[in-house]
Amino acid sequence: MKVILEAETIRSLLASLADQVLLDTDNPASLAVVGIRSRGEVLAERLTHLLAERSQAPIPCGTLDITLYRDDLNSPQGNEQPRVRTTEINFNVDDKTIILVDDVLFTGRSIRAALDALIDLGRPRAIRLAVLVERSGRELPIQPDYTCISTDVRPHQHVRVSLVESDGRDEVVVE
């Protein structure tokens, strides 16, 4: 097990992420942040807070549950039976620039599902992908727009993200 990000680094990387997102937009009021359950949700809330603080604009934030859009629902899942939870996006996504947030980008399949789920909610002006960790192992042609850290790990290795809100502390480890 190797720690690749510690609390202080995660905090500063998210701050830089917020700065970069604002540099790339000319209208912060059109921004919205959507996190993928469950770790993406926590990161999305933190990012929204940083964006709102810096831009002084109200930035809507929502949570996406992608279970119904997964591509493995009709294959055996062993002990990892997917659990349907609620999607909570209480704003109109039409014409918004959505910053889609997840903790780890690995195969790209979750992001494919998230894109389909988002588009069923309306027609955003653009969707940008922001991830805390980008790792090797892509199975679909999906790449992030914003990456806090890239890491080259072996296929059998697992990148585990812990966050204060859900796990009691901020840390990213490779196991």
Partner 1 sequence: MPISKSHLRTTKRHSGMIPHIKKKHKQFQWQRKHLLGLRELSREEITYILDTAEGFEQISTRSVKKAPPLRGKVVVNLFFEDSTRTRSSFTLAAHRLSADTLDFSKESSSVSKGETLLDTAKNLEAMGIDIVVIRHTAAGAAKLLSKNINACVVNAGDGFCEHPTQGLLDIYTIRQMRGSLEGLRVAIVGDIAHSRVARSDMWGMTKLGAQVTFVAPPTLLPPDVRQLPVQISYCLDEVVEKVDVINMLRIQFERLGGNAFPSIREYSRYFGLTVERLSRAKDNVIVMHPGPINRGVEIDSKVADGPNSVILQQVKNGLAVRMAVLFLVNQAAAQT
Give me the residues that bind partner 1 (CB under 8 A), please: 8-9, 11-17, 19-20, 24, 37-38, 41-42, 45-46, 49-50, 53, 65, 67-69, 73-77, 79, 81-88, 116-117, 119-122, 145-148, 150, 164-166
Q: How far is the CB of 143 from partner 1 (least distance, A)?
A: 11
Nearer to partner 1, 70 or 173 (CB): 70
Nearer to partner 1, 89 or 159 (CB): 89
Query: How distant, in Å, are the alpha carbons of 22, 91, 150, 172 from that of 52?
Result: 10, 16, 26, 25
Residue 37 or 135 having the CB closest to partner 1: 37
With b for 16 or more beta-carbon neighbours within 10 A and e for fewer, the 56-88 pattern comes to: eeebbbbbbbbeebbeeeeeeeeeeeeeeeebe
* Contact assessment for residue 138 and residue 108, using Cβ atoms and an 8 Å cutoff: yes
Q: Minimal distance in Å, beta carbon 152 to partner 1?
A: 14
